[in-house]
Structure 1
Amino acid sequence: MKAIVHDTYGSSDVLELRDIDKPSPGEGDVLVRVHAAAVDAGVWHLMTGLPYLLRLMGYGLRAPKVRVRGREVAGRVEAVGAGVTQFRPGDEVFGICEGSFAEYASAPEDRFVPKPANLTLEQAAAVPMSALTALQALRDAGRLQPGQKVLIIGAAGGVGTFAVQLAKAFGAEVTGVCSTTKTDLVRSIGADDVIDYTREDVTDGTRHYDLVVDTAGNRPLSRLRRALAPRGTLVIVGGEGGGRWFGGTDRVLRAVMLSPFVRHTLRGLVSVERHEDLQTLRELIEAGKVAPVIGATYPLSEAPEAIRYLQEGNARGKVVITV
């Protein structure tokens, strides 16, 4: 089968389209014929091996343990392993796996749920990781309540577009932060207010929010806290910068250490791949409360260009790779 493979860490130049063996489903596994996959920030980190902390966490010290990139996937079940009860060949599914930038991918059955009836497979591929992260940031880490004021920083990105819609679905008053060219998009997905960060500083202390969700940002904690209500909560989702060893994780660690000593609640999010959360997202999508935003699509052979496009900050919503 065709797959995007890399044997060493580096820029997108290390990625190659190759023929490799088709995976076989083990016991409890589902083999999916991939129709589409999506690019998230984690793809870049796993490709480059940065920050180095990632390598120490078991992804491979000198070379990647998993050679095929991609984690978000949608497609049709090709075959099932022994003990699988939820799916059968031909079912359309979406979910999370290792190595979705390929013609076939395999994962345990609890990593998949049926594709929402009102989405195409391309749209469904844009959902799993980013929407799950947004859900857990708002509901679990942020403990969002109806009527609260929420600020989503990075509202036009993959996680941000889902966070805006989910916060509205949960009954919040939502303000999104993005660049000039993306304000119309953020407004169109339900934000009550949109702030162009190139013209206004949302952390100048003049506006305050019950919950601030910072997606892959790099603003200092001291400035982010200026945007919080007296008992407000800050949730940091990812982050960039911070050096080659720790990347954005150093900001998360500082937030967790500072939180017990201030009135604000400061948290970092480590998302968990829960089957029940994928099912929750499916139900919200089918109810018309959430929809993926796809800003660009690329064929499998152009996956390196898709990753570069995302990393350069050009994307609106999700970048999808069709197979």
Structure 2
Amino acid sequence: MKAIMWTKYGPPDGLQLRESDKPVPRDNEVLIRIAATTVTTGDCELRSLKIPVLFRLPVRIYNGLLKPKRITILGQELSGEIETTGKDVRLFKKGDQVFASTGLSFGGYAEYICLPEETKMGVLAKKPVNMTYEEAAAVPTGGLEALHFLRKGNIQHGQKVLIIGAGGSIGTFAVQLARHFGAEVTGVDSTKKLDMLRSIGAVHVIDYTREDFTKNGETYDVIFDIMGKSSFSGSIKSLKQNGRYLIGNPGLTQIVRGRWISMRSSKKVIIGAAIQKVEDLAFLKELIEAGAIKSVIDRRYPLEQTAEAHRYVDTGQKKGNVVITIGKNTKI
């Protein structure tokens, strides 16, 4: 099978199209012919090792000191069709159209992948009937992260929610989910993304290149900083009493200060990545089929141009998701 192999840490030119052995499913696994996958910011950060300094050495120890060895195919989410099943599989059958998150095992940049029908790492479910493969592939990572944090925020109808980094994969789902939960949503991102944010339900938008939300006098019930790049003290000041500050990618200082604030005031700082659950992916599927949320796709690339897709995501300009199409029938 064709696959994009991750051959070195650093720039996207370390992603190379090569032939690899087609995987064979174990008894509890399904073999999926992948139709589409995505390039997430997480894929790019791992590829380049642009991650917090504390984690760089552990990643190298786990995955290879000089070059990737344990994980050699990136790609965290995908959609496709089940080609074969192991003898113990009960939830799926040949021909099922599915979407999935692979968790930290990655493997989406390939024509085929084997996934367990039930696992503690990653999730697998039948894809929404009203989505193409490309649209479905963009749901699991961003959708599950957004759902996790907004539930932690305990959003109530009529509350004011500010989402920082609203124009990315997690952010576009967070805007739609917060709107679904009845919030008045303000999206913060760069100039080129503001019209898109309005189109998916943001009542207010703020161009961070021109305006600092911490200085406009507005306060919010929930602030969700997806990348953890906003001013910590400014965000706390912009929270109402009993407000929640959700940080998707916190640094050590934010973690320490967050615990102190949570202990000493009515405002709560909430951190921590999502634990992916099949029932949460099923919930997102229900909302999609009801027309409440959708995927936002910026660009599409064929598998052969995965490195170019990474270069684009590295710019930080993507709106929603960047999709990699694999083989035929990606429109189904």
Q: TM-score, normalised by structure 2?
A: 0.90
Shift of 1:269: 2.7
Residue type at the aligned position of 1:137: F
Identity, % of aligned pairs? 44
> 1:172-203, CA deviations, whole angstroms, 9 ceiling, x for partnerless residues?
11111111121111000011111122222111
Query: Could you tell me which of 186, 189, 193 is aligned with 2:204?
Result: 193
1:87-98 map, 5 Å: 87-97=92-102, 98=106
Residue type at the aligned position of 1:34: I
1:44-63 map, 5 Å: 44-51=44-51, 52=53, 53=55, 56=58, 59-62=62-65, 63=67
Deviates more, 1:222-231 or 1:309-318: 222-231
Using the alignment, how far apart are the partners of 1:185 and 1:318 within structure 2?
12
Match of 1:243 in 2: none
Using the alignment, how far apart are the partners of 1:129 and 1:158 within structure 2?
8
Using the alignment, how far apart are the partners of 1:196 and 1:17 within structure 2?
38
Match of 1:100 in 2: 108
1:37 alignment partner, SS class: strand
Check 1:206–1:269 CA distance in 2 against 1; reply closer, same or farther (3 A cut): same
Q: Do residues 117 (structure 1) and 120 (structure 2) align? A: no
1:108-257 map, 5 Å: 108-110=116-118, 111-139=123-151, 141-204=152-215, 206-238=217-249, 248=251, 250-257=253-260
Shift of 1:115: 0.9
Residue type at the aligned position of 1:17: L
Structure 2 residues without counterparts, runs of 5 or longer: 327-332
Do the aligned residues in 1 keep the contact of 2:128 with 2:285 (CA within 8 Å)?
Answer: yes
Match of 2:262 in 1: 259
Using the alignment, how far apart are the partners of 1:67 and 1:230 within structure 2?
47
Shift of 1:263: 2.8
Shift of 1:220: 2.7
Query: Could you tell me which of 67, 76, 85 is aligned with 1:71?
Result: 76
> 1:74-129, CA deviations, whole angstroms, 9 ceiling, x for partnerless residues?
00001112311111111100011220010001111132111101100010001010
Q: Do residues 314 (structure 1) and 317 (structure 2) align? A: yes
Structure 1 residues without counterparts, runs of 5 or longer: 240-247
Using the alignment, how far apart are the partners of 1:293 and 1:237 within structure 2?
20
Using the alignment, how far apart are the partners of 1:39 and 1:201 within structure 2?
29
Shift of 1:238: 2.1
2:311 alignment partner, SS class: helix
Using the alignment, how far apart are the partners of 1:148 and 1:174 within structure 2?
9
Deviates more, 1:116-125 or 1:196-205: 196-205
Using the alignment, how far apart are the partners of 2:78 and 2:256 within structure 1?
31
Equivalent pairs counted in the alignment come to 314
Match of 2:302 in 1: 299
Shift of 1:61: 4.9
Do the aligned residues in 2 keep the contact of 1:59 with 1:66 (CA within 8 Å)?
Answer: no
Do the aligned residues in 2 keep the contact of 1:205 with 1:227 (CA within 8 Å)?
Answer: no
Q: TM-score, normalised by structure 1?
A: 0.92
